[in-house]
Structure 1
């Protein structure tokens, strides 16, 4: 065990004593590609799933806001439709038509018995 530690220390001292310099990002990258393929793949999968989750939440919020806007518009159109039906019923009421004919146009309702008398004369 002590021999292994001394070997490791001698290798470290040998590498420190050499004039060869390595860039830290290059050493980390080569180490990851050589020994850490699974953690690297998992890290990439986590990043992609996080980005996908954020974009999905954003689209969901946009669709929810659009749905709320459409519900408000539908309610306004429904109220307008009900008002138009009420107006149609009010304008189509026979008693109203008859009252307007009597008041404004001085028209009178003719019974079928009176109609025969007028035709005979």
Structure 2
């Protein structure tokens, strides 16, 4: 004769899983852990990809600025070269703006 004992469904399933289903329970835990790790890895990968894109944009901006500075340096270098040639070879001198209207006759 079967006793009139009442068991909750959750406790019966839990006991059955521990008694007869250790391998499926272990596989379930492994699948859940694996899924959490995949989600975490995907999130970190997306963050790193976004950070890499930001760094590439910054590098491009710095590269453009560097090119502009080189162009500016070359432009300024040309003026100093012209001034040096005018002073050394042509013996030109700077004119004082306050004495610009004075004409020197020789």
TM-score for both structures, normalised by structure 2: 0.76
3-state SS of paired residue (2:4)? coil
1:90 aligns with 2:75: yes
Q: Deviation per CA, 1:71-107: give whole Å up to 9, x if none.
A: 0000000000000011011101112x3599769x23x
SS at match of 1:67: helix
Match of 1:50 in 2: 35
Find the counterpart in structure 2 of residue 59 from structure 1: 44
Structure with the bigger percentage of helix: 1
Identify the residue that residue 114 of structure 1 maps to in structure 2.
none
Q: Which whole-Å CA distance do the structure 1 matches of 2:10 and 2:84 have between them?
A: 95
Structure 1 residue runs without a partner (length 5+): 1-13, 107-121
Superposition deviation, residue 19 in structure 1: 2.1
Give aligned pairs, total. Answer: 90
Pairwise CA RMSD of aligned residues?
Answer: 2.3
- Match runs of 1:16-27 below 5 Å: 18-27=3-12
- Structure 2 unaligned runs (5+)? 96-106
Scaled by the length of structure 1, the TM-score of the pair is: 0.67
4+ runs of 1 displaced by more than 6 Å? none
By relative contact order (CA 8 Å, sep 6+), the higher-ranking structure is 2
* Larger-Rg structure: 1
